[in-house]
Chain A
Amino acid sequence: AQKITQTQPGMFVQEKEAVTLDCTYDTSDPSYGLFWYKQPSSGEMIFLIYQGSYDQQNATEGRYSLNFQKARKSANLVISASQLGDSAMYFCAMRGEMDSSYKLIFGSGTRLLVRP
């Protein structure tokens, strides 16, 4: 069965430093997609970045990059130059397999706190 594992319930980072949020996944589907979402205290889930399993390069979106290591089944999110506004919950997600490809499977999340 598919599974997303985020082993860091909470993390601190100093403002302006980089931080890596861990995500490992398990799937038997040869084609899959991985996502990261941010959830500030306001509650809305904000899409950050997407990586397809056959993409040759790691995805980047501004200060966000996805460190995709297929053999290790990891898809870590790297935030460079952290800002106070980056304090939020971060969720890793995977597209469902085959007949369930419409849905997303989410990890339990990591709470990031950026210190001034």
Chain B
Amino acid sequence: DVKVTQSSRYLVKRTGEKVFLECVQDMDHENMFWYRQDPGLGLRLIYFSYDVKMKEKGDIPEGYSVSREKKERFSLILESASTNQTSMYLCASSPAAANIQYFGAGTRLSVL
């Protein structure tokens, strides 16, 4: 079974803090994704990576950055957390040529 693991289920941070969300997949997938999920808006893509050290902006990259130093790990970074970044964050991975994405359990982030 494909396994995508997000390091934290719940996080509470203060405004202005630097926040790291970690995601690890164990299926040697080339593609990895970070989404945020908000009620009534579905999932929106923040960043995408198709290879180590490669990244592409998604639909809502402002206020976020990413890091992919190893194939299995994709990190989402909030340089200076703000209250409007309170949300559910979902990581996903997929093989290079496949469309089906496999998701982690999500990290619910609250910024106070």
Q: Is B81 an interface residue (CB 8 A)?
A: no
Which of B19-27, B39-47, B66-74 faces chain A?
B39-47
Residue interface mask B73-110, A partner, CB < 8 A = 1: 00000000000000010101000000111111110100
Contact yes or no, B42 A108, CB < 8 A: yes
> Chain B interface: which size bin?
20 to 34
A55 at the interface (CB under 8 A from B): no
Mostly, the B contact residues are strand
How many A residues have CB within 8 A of the partner chain? Answer: 22
Secondary structure at the A interface, as helix, strand, loop or mixed, is: strand
Does A45 sit at the interface, judged by CB under 8 A? Answer: yes
Known A43-B105, A50-B99, A95-B99: A103·B58 in contact at CB below 8 Å? yes
**A50-B99, A102-B31, A103-B33 given as contacts; is B41 within 8 A of A44 (CB)?**
no
Tell yes or no: B50 within 8 A of A by CB.
Answer: yes
Chain B contacts of A45 at CB under 8 A?
A: 43, 90, 92, 103
15 pairs from A and B in contact (CB 8 Å cutoff): A35-B99, A37-B103, A42-B105, A43-B90, A45-B90, A45-B92, A46-B103, A50-B99, A103-B33, A103-B45, A103-B58, A104-B101, A106-B43, A108-B42, A109-B42
Given A102-B56, A103-B48, A104-B99; 20 other pairs, CB 8 A cutoff: A37-B103, A43-B9, A43-B88, A43-B90, A43-B105, A44-B105, A44-B106, A45-B90, A45-B103, A46-B103, A50-B100, A91-B42, A93-B43, A102-B31, A103-B58, A104-B45, A106-B42, A106-B43, A106-B44, A109-B42
Residues of A within 8 A of B (CB): 4, 9, 33, 35, 37, 42-47, 50, 91, 93, 95, 102-104, 106-109
